Chains A and B, each alone.
Chain A
Amino acid sequence: MSDVREVIIDSIHRVAEQNDLEISNELTDESILLQSGLDSLGFAILVADLEDNLGIDPFVMMDEPVYPTTLGEFVAIYEKFTKQEG
């Protein structure tokens, strides 16, 4: 498991707990984000939380809007932009 992936999974659980949301099943790369238990506002909090922890918001750095569907796509975006920043 990559460090970025681990930070994201931790953050999802933390945001869910703080906002009384329940994460449905075990999270895998195929997990559909909007069926994972976080609602749209939960995702906004997650992105803000990850900006604190990883120091980047890849969605701000992108030239075009991108909305990942699965956890795997979400993690891949963060991995790509973390490498670029590093």
Chain B
Amino acid sequence: MESNKPKVALVTGGNRGLGLAIVKSLIDDDYSVVAAARSNTPELEELIANSDKVFFEPLDLSKRQEIHGWSKRFVEKYGAPYALINNAAIAHDGVLGTMHESQIEDVISINVTGTLILTKYISRAMLRNRLGRIVNISSIIASTGFNGLSVYAASKAALNGFTKSLARELGKINITVNAVAPGYMETSMSEGINDTQLDQIRRRSALKRLAETSEVASTVKYLLSKEAAAITGSILTVDAGNTA
């Protein structure tokens, strides 16, 4: 890769919430960032209008058959990315006993199957450069559990296992694979958690507050930096001490 060209980072679900915060954080550090998501948002459009380093590509991870072709077109257009941030995810709130089968399938299809298939093809482009960083956005719920989020928790626990094994597969060609496990943040993803629950989470956290999306995003940025070159197969928790 030419050193004077900005490194390309692909952020799935980069149109809102934590994904958008990651996009913002990476453009500050001179990455060329492609936000891939099902739809664009006014916030992402504004970023694109004000920066020549942000791009949007429509991507629906539930359409498994389209991911190979999408990845091929992505690499033709932007080159092999330096970094892949697997942030796209959905959550259906509700106890397992009454959750519709289609909702269980949706969560696994996007958060796990689609994410793994995208990683397969994007990491193949990295293989040829013998360089790359993969960051999977997990959740503290993968290890702590949360009432009403069992399917989401299962999907995030899957990413933790994926992270560790893939780190072992790709380590010898200089590709690191890590996960970041955020605690509760004030994003649309935590809309199912009511104010009383959020207050309880704050009280039980060592820092007596929630983690900010910008703080989680800067952890992702750190994992992409030269300084983090020796970190692989790790799961970094950013939760204001909620699980301390």
Contacts and interface: CB of A to CB of B under 8 A. Distances in A.
A48 B169 contact: no
Contacts of B170: 41
B100 interface: no
Contacts of A45: 124, 127-128, 173
B63 interface: no
A45 B125 CA distance: 9
Given A48-B124, A49-B128, A41 B68 contact: no
B77 interface: no
14 contacts: A19-B173, A41-B127, A41-B169, A41-B170, A41-B172, A41-B173, A45-B127, A47-B124, A48-B125, A48-B128, A49-B128, A51-B72, A57-B68, A60-B68
Contact of A44 (B68, B72, B127, B130): B127
A16 B130 CA distance: 13
A45 B130 CA distance: 10
8 A-B pairs closest in CB distance: A48-B124, A45-B127, A60-B68, A48-B127, A48-B128, A44-B127, A41-B169, A44-B124
Interface in A4-58: 18-19, 41, 44-45, 47-49, 51-52, 57
Interface in A64-86: none
A18 B127 CA distance: 11
B137 to A, nearest CB: 24
B74 to A, nearest CB: 14
Contacts of A47: 124
B212 to A, nearest CB: 38
A68 B72 CA distance: 24
Contacts of B130: 18
B195 to A, nearest CB: 47
A4 to B, nearest CB: 20
Contacts of B68: 57, 60
A39 to B, nearest CB: 9
A18 B131 CA distance: 13
Contacts of B127: 41, 44-45, 48
Nearest to A60: B68
Nearest to B169: A41
Contacts of A52: 128
B48 to A, nearest CB: 30
Contacts of A48: 124-125, 127-128
A19 B170 CA distance: 13
Contacts of A57: 68
Given A44-B127, A48-B124, 20 more contacts: A18-B130, A19-B173, A41-B127, A41-B169, A41-B170, A41-B172, A41-B173, A44-B124, A45-B124, A45-B127, A45-B128, A45-B173, A47-B124, A48-B125, A49-B128, A51-B72, A51-B124, A52-B128, A57-B68, A60-B68
